[in-house]
């Protein structure tokens, strides 16, 4: 009898977090964030990585970025940083990071986590990863219901993320198990628009994002 199922909830994970060069990040927030857009993008990533590192199911966080500023700041938090050597788009960058994760921890599962989850709670992420461990390949849809915030594979399973427009449907189509769990809002609440940011703040965003958001409110016209 296989022992995989009983041991699955205790599986450790290496999570890959892709961080864009800040000059190109969060362009849909340009009007609302103005000169603080780069600071906001870095704050989102820092709060996401810090929360992921607090999760007891996460052994490593591998940040893929070619920007030296987030590379330095996220490494200081405890992330392992690798350059985007493929430089061929988001999914190849994630595959590159996953390869590094498997080198570090061959017996761990590998996941790709969005870099803009500022309200992320370590206990909610742990709950999602425990559910993900029961499937060879799984994903969590975003709050909008069309995208993906987390994609995972168990050890030995090919890592084939399909992030981008319509990624929820793309991950479903390739047979990944969709994870629909209660009380995991913080893992689904990514931030691309001012409305998303307000929703994340209502959930309780991390300190970096909260501080930058306060500057946005101060800078906004009355």
How many H helices and E strands in the chain?
A: 10, 7
Neighbour order of strands in the sheet with 148-153 = 80-82, 58-64, 13-18, 109-113, 148-153, 137-141, 177-178
Instruction: Single out the residue of 4, 116, 125, 7 nearest to residue 59, CA to CA.
Output: 125
**CA angle, residues 212, 218, 222, in degrees to nearest 5:** 145
> 108 with 13: CB under 8 angstroms?
yes
45's tokens: 């990533």
> What does the alpha-carbon distance between residue 139 and residue 148 come to, in Å, rounded to a whole number?
7
- Any binding-site annotation on 167? yes
- Any binding-site annotation on 148? yes
Using the Cα atoms of residue 150, residue 153, residue 159 and residue 160 in order, give the sign of their dihedral: negative
Rg of the chain taking only CA atoms, in angstroms: 17
- Any binding-site annotation on 7? no
Mark 154-173 as b/e (b = at least 16 C-beta within 10 Å).
Answer: beeeebebbbeeebbebbbe
Annotated binding site for phosphoenolpyruvate: 148, 164, 167
């Amino acid at each position: 009898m296989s022992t995989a199922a009983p041991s699955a909830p205790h599986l450790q994970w290496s999570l890959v977090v892709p961080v864009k060069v800040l000059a190109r990040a969060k362009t849909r927030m340009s009007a609302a964030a103005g000169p603080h857009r780069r600071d906001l993008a870095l704050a989102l990533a820092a709060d996401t990585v810090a929360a992921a590192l607090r999760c007891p199911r996460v052994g490593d966080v591998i940040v893929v970025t070619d920007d030296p500023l987030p590379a330095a700041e996220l490494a200081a938090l405890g992330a392992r940083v690798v350059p985007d050597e493929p430089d061929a788009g988001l999914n190849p960058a994630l595959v590159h990071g996953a390869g590094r994760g498997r080198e570090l921890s061959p017996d761990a599962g590998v996941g790709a986590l969005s870099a803009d989850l500022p309200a992320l709670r370590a206990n909610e992420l742990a709950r999602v990863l425990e559910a993900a461990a029961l499937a060879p390949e799984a994903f969590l849809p975003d709050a909008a219901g069309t995208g993906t915030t987390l994609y995972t594979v168990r050890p030995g399973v090919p890592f084939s993320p399909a992030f981008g427009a319509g990624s929820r449907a793309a991950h479903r189509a390739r047979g990944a198990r969709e994870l629909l769990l209660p009380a995991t809002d913080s893992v689904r609440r990514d931030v691309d628009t001012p409305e998303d940011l307000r929703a994340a703040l209502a959930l309780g965003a991390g300190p970096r994002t909260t501080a930058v958001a306060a500057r946005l409110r101060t800078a906004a016209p009355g």
